[in-house]
Amino acid sequence: MENEPTLLNFQLKQELYNLALSLGYRDEAMEYLIDLASYGEADIELKEGIIYSLIDKGEYDRAMEISKNLFIESRDRKYFELTIHIIPKGW
């Protein structure tokens, strides 16, 4: 565990997210969730959920950034199209 600080940080953020959510701090939980998306350990489904949650909250710039990064990581056309779809909403 000592040799993998990224994994430890990821697990800590997960715990903070769960704690904030269980205590009813939804905005803080969302911030931890967004932080989790920046880790390689985060799976694609988690990142997709974050993107759609940000769109629902009207945070198009943040949603676009995560979507763009997801496209760069995966080279999946659907994330490119999602990024293009988000752009007009943010303008």
The pLDDT tens digits for 4-34 are 778 888 899 999 999 999 999 999 999 998 8
Residue-level pLDDT at 42: 84
What is d(CA 76, CA 73) in angstroms, rounded to the nearest whole number? Answer: 8
Q: Between residues 3 and 8, which one has the greater pLDDT?
A: 8
Residue-level pLDDT at 90: 54
Tell me the per-residue pLDDT of 39-66, one tens digit each, with 9 for 90 and over.
888 888 888 889 998 998 888 998 998 9
Output the CA torsion sign for 34, 65, 48, 43. Answer: negative
Characterize 7-31 residue by residue with b for buried, 16 or more Cβ atoms within 10 angstroms of its Cβ, and e for exposed.
Answer: eeebeebbebbeebeeeeeeeebbe
Residue 17's nearest CA partner among 35, 39, 44 is: 35
Residue-level pLDDT at 38: 84
Token pair 């943040």 in the structure block, residue: 62
Asked if 66 and 51 touch (Cβ cutoff 8 Å), the reply is yes
Residue-level pLDDT at 23: 95
Reduce the DSSP state of residue 89 to 3 states and report it. helix
Judge if pTM exceeds 0.85. Answer: no
